[in-house]
Amino acid sequence: MSKHAYVFPGQGAQFSGMGKNLYDSNDSVKSLFEQANDILGFRISDTMFSGSEEELKQTNITQPAIFIHAVAAFKTIDHPQPDMVAGHSLGEFSALVANGVLGFEDALQLVSIRAKAMQKACELNPSTMAAVLNLSDEKVEEICNQIQQETGETVVAANYNCPGQLVISGSKAAIDIACIRMKEAGAKRALVLPVGGAFHSPLMSSAREELAEAIHAATFNHPTCPVYQNVVAKAVNDPAAIKKNLIDQLTGAVKWTQCVQAMVADGASHFTECGPGKVLQGLVGKIAGAAIMVDGVN
């Protein structure tokens, strides 16, 4: 039986004007945005609709903004019945609202705590990320391991986005060396990304501790359908395991390629991306091939 998967984007999908069309055309979305403004204690909707690119790039704005937009987009679908859900990094929180594990308010508060904790971790450790194109995952991992052994600096594979696109994360010094080594090994490109820190690496451990405390205190319900979580790349239904994987994700890799492959293996034939942009639609197409139906709501 063919199954319908709903997927939710992460940081990097933001743009000025995000969500405004939904806000203007849908009363329930408007009230969701106003609820978010009240929960956060400032009008994030104003920044989403008319903020500069620079303002929207700040982690403590970006993460709640993308989360709100993604949940709003999902709620505009008539009677959505996901057979499975997944989110890319931050998108995992939107996925957990979609399958009933978290209520909107609790999830937004966790996202806000996560964003602020990650911002602080970025300030503690000057660090960054880089995209490596057209080099095998195994080669990228091998080069990262070599650099860590030689220098003692942190550099790890962080985002397995699709075959031939892997993002690495670490200290600025280690990323600079890695970019040179990746190109020497045959990478088409090794490009430092405009991000504030080394997400999904051990350099986020201070943020992980802060988020863990908040997640342990939150109520997680039993899901209406499985969530394919980034760090394990398989279906998860147990609320305690969902909590653990959500915490581990801050310092662990986003195995997006493997998540999509697992969903297809479990019967997914239709993927719908909910939220800003079309990044995941592109990645799913590259991972799963033309036989899979892919669309989006934004």
pLDDT at 224: 98
Cα separation values, 246 from 55, 134, 141, 208, 262, Å:
26, 29, 23, 10, 18
Q: Which CATH number fits domain 3-123+202-297: 3.10.20.30, 3.40.366.10, 3.30.465.10, 2.60.120.260?
A: 3.40.366.10
> Is residue 47 over pLDDT 80?
yes
Q: By percentage, how much of the chain surpasses pLDDT 70?
A: 100
CB neighbourhood size of 116 (10 A):
17
What are 102-133's pLDDT values in tens digits?
999 999 999 999 999 999 999 888 899 999 99
Which residues belong to the active site? 89, 200
What are 19-45's pLDDT values in tens digits?
999 999 999 999 999 999 999 999 999
Domain residue ranges in the chain: 3-123+202-297, 126-192
Fill in the DSSP letter of residue 253. Answer: -
Computed on alpha carbons and rounded to an integer, the radius of gyration of the chain in Å comes to 18
pLDDT at 257: 97
pLDDT at 235: 98
pLDDT at 90: 97
Query: Average pLDDT, stretch 189-209?
Result: 93
49-55 contacts, C-beta under 8 A, 24 or more apart: 49/16, 49/17, 49/18, 49/19, 49/20, 49/23, 50/16, 50/17, 51/16, 52/16, 53/15, 53/16
> Positive or negative, the Cα torsion across 202, 135, 91, 173?
positive
What are 49-98's pLDDT values in tens digits?
999 988 998 888 999 999 999 999 999 998 888 999 999 999 999 999 99
* Cα 36 to Cα 63: distance, rounded to the nearest angstrom: 13
CATH code for the structural domain at 126-192: 3.30.70.250
Query: Average pLDDT, stretch 192-213?
Result: 93
Which letter, b or e, does each residue of 253-268 get, where b requires 16 or more Cβ atoms within 10 Å of its Cβ?
bbbbbbbbbbbbeeeb
